[in-house]
Structure 1
């Protein structure tokens, strides 16, 4: 029997509205020790913003992080999976798209995130990445 995304994903998905400012998103990532946040619009749109997006697309721009909305730096129409999808499918999508995190969506609603760290900890906990991913984050 194949392993399902729901067995390894981190839930619930941490989400913000598209008009949330970058400073708020950065503090949320810091406080939750996560590297990405799902941007969920009232109209059902799903996007992703990563810690790298905050720096490369956000802080490098003119303007202030307190006033720049996350919708200006996030990636819309991200590759997503369902909690019922096989982990093999998620791995294939991550490899083909060269991404480290997948939003997990059910009926248009984000329910979790599947990261390389989740996969490593769940499938090969003895590997270096698996041990790092399973350990507590630095304070």
Structure 2
């Protein structure tokens, strides 16, 4: 039986405003043991920022991140999923767009994050990706 995104996604995503300092987002990622935060205005998802985005789009171009905000480093060309969508369809879209994590939205509001790691843990539990994704954080 096909699995839905809601069965695999991480719920209660960290959601921060575009004018949030990158450092605050990095702290939230560390505290919640996640690799991404959603960028929201009001209750609408406007982007996603990953730990890699902070390094590649933020730190690589700046000596000082004190004036760097989520709006400066977020991916705003969003690939999203619905919680009721078939997980395989979402994974195919992620492959096509070359993204590892996508916001899960319902009526425009964030309800979760779906990652290739989530999928691997449930759908291919013997894979290296599943092992790495399920491992304890090294922070």
Q: Show CA shifts across 1:22-53 (max 9, x none).
A: 11011111222221110011272420111111
Task: Provide the residue aligned with 1:71 in structure 2.
Answer: 71
Are 2:77 and 1:89 aligned? no
Question: Contact 2:45/2:110 (CA < 8 Å) preserved in 1?
Answer: no
Aligned partners of 1:3 and 1:87 also within 8 Å: yes
Kept after mapping to 1: 8 A contact 2:5/2:114: yes
TM-score (norm 2): 0.92
Displacement after TM superposition at 1:135 (Å): 2.3
Q: Deviations over 1:31-81 (max 9, x none)?
A: 222211100112724201111111111113346323321111111131000
Per the alignment, do residues 62 and 134 of structure 1 end up closer, same or farther by CA in structure 2, a change over 3 Å counting? closer
Q: Within the alignment, does 1:59 sit opposite 2:59 as a pair?
A: yes
**What is the RMSD of the two structures over their aligned residues, measured on CA atoms?**
1.5
| Aligned partner of residue 77 in structure 1, secondary structure | coil
> Counterpart of 1:79 in 2: which secondary structure?
coil
Partner residue in 2 for 1:101: 101
Count of paired positions: 139
